[in-house]
C-alpha cells in the first residue's frame, strides 16, 4: 500500500489557548493539555476510515507553530508512535481491503 504524507500542526487553539495537534484533512484535533483520551480515539477512528475509504496509508509529519519546546517533544513522540502503529497495521489494513473488495464483487 502507498503512504500519503499529511501534516499534523502543533499550535495553540484560538478559543482557549491550549496546545493542540490538528489535522485539517481528517478534521481532527488532539488536545495535548487534557488527560481525556476521547479525542485520540476519534483520531484513530478517522485514520481507520480514511485508510478504508481512500485505500492508502497515512504518514504524519509535525509542523510546529509554537515555541513551547516540551510540548514539541511530546508531539514528536506522539507522531512517531502513531506512524509506527499505522506501519505495524499495514498487513491488517491490506486484509480488510481485500475483504472489502471481495464482498463488493
pLDDT tens sequence across 11-34:
988 888 889 999 999 999 999 988
- What was the pLDDT predicted at 70? 82
- Whether the pLDDT of residue 67 is over 90: the answer is no
Mean pLDDT lowest among 17-21, 64-68, 100-104: 64-68
Instruction: Return the domain boundaries, the chain.
Output: 3-104
- What was the pLDDT predicted at 59? 98
- What was the pLDDT predicted at 17? 81
Residues 6 or more apart in contact with residue 23 via CB below 8 angstroms: 6, 7, 8, 9, 29, 43, 60
Amino acid at each position: 500500500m502507498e503512504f500519503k504524507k499529511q501534516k499534523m500542526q502543533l499550535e495553540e487553539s484560538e478559543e482557549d489557548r491550549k496546545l493542540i495537534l490538528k489535522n485539517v484533512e481528517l478534521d481532527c484535533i488532539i488536545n495535548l493539555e487534557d488527560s481525556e483520551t476521547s479525542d485520540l480515539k476519534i483520531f484513530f477512528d478517522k485514520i481507520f476510515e480514511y485508510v478504508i475509504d481512500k485505500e492508502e496509508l497515512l504518514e504524519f509529519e509535525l509542523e510546529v507553530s509554537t515555541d513551547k519546546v516540551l510540548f514539541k517533544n511530546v508531539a514528536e513522540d506522539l507522531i512517531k508512535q502513531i506512524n509506527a502503529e499505522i506501519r505495524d497495521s499495514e498487513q491488517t489494513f491490506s486484509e480488510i481491503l481485500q475483504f472489502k473488495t471481495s464482498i463488493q464483487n
